[in-house]
Amino acid sequence: MSNPKQYIKEQKLNFYMTPEHVCSYLPGKDARTLFADPGFPMNENIYTTLARVGFRRSGRHIYKPRCQHCNACIAIRLPVNKFIMNRNQKRNWRLNKDLKIIKFSAGFNHEHYKLYKRYLAARHPDGGMDNPEAENYIDFLMTDWLTTVFYEFREADKLLAVAVVDKLLDGLSAVYTFYDPDITHRSLGRYAVLVEIEKARNQGLQWLYLGYWIADCRKMRYKDEYQPLEYFYDDAWHGTPPQSED
């Protein structure tokens, strides 16, 4: 797959654009999303190819922002073998080494679901996500055509966090992490990314795909601390973010 676009063309995979809708990340902006044909028989090989050109998974759907007057959403990935922890990350790693990490195949787990609801209620109050039905939870995190893993983080018997990760041919893709909103001193979101980096290395994989990075979005800034990031724009991966248009 040296030429991902050619491979996708050969698979005869079609794409569909949504109408404009309110942007979830930048106030006052409208967004459009490009979706791969949801009826196409997807698999790990094809999704890996799509991830290499900036696509992401949400449930069974493969998408990519494609806004008419904005290019703020930049797909990013981390070359895990080049990553070196900084001082804060080393401190976080030591702080959380007492946690037990348990791997589960993707599937509905009531304890995970309860924690997910608590997390969303605290992080996204009145945002339409704060009280999801079990079906919404399943539709968002799981699919039947890809290997998805749930990593539990436990302090003794108490569930503190769950990291959802996809296995691609060349890397892991961080789908979503949710954690106990009352546990702030452990910085569990940061620790989950550090664990995912270690898991990718241990599996002999090259990349950790971290979704989208937006320079002007505060809740995306935590991704800046994992370096050296690669940024996908102008149809290629780059070692530096795009220059601001301002």
pLDDT of residue 12: 85
pLDDT at 98 over 60: yes
The closest of 93, 102, 96, 120 to 177, measured between CA atoms, is 120
User: For residues 58 and 90, what is the distance between their CA atoms, to the nearest angstrom?
Assistant: 31
The closest of 182, 149, 159 to 113, measured between CA atoms, is 159
Mean pLDDT of 48-59: 97
What global pTM score does this model have? 0.93
pLDDT tens-digit readout, 210-228: 999 999 888 888 999 999 9
Measured in degrees and rounded to the nearest 5, phi and psi for residue 49 equal: -60, -40
Under a CB-based contact definition with an 8 Å cutoff, are residues 162 and 101 in contact? no
User: For residues 210 and 167, what is the distance between their CA atoms, to the nearest angstrom?
Assistant: 13
pLDDT of residue 236: 96
pLDDT at 185 over 60: yes
Domains observed in the chain: 1-246 (3.40.630.30)
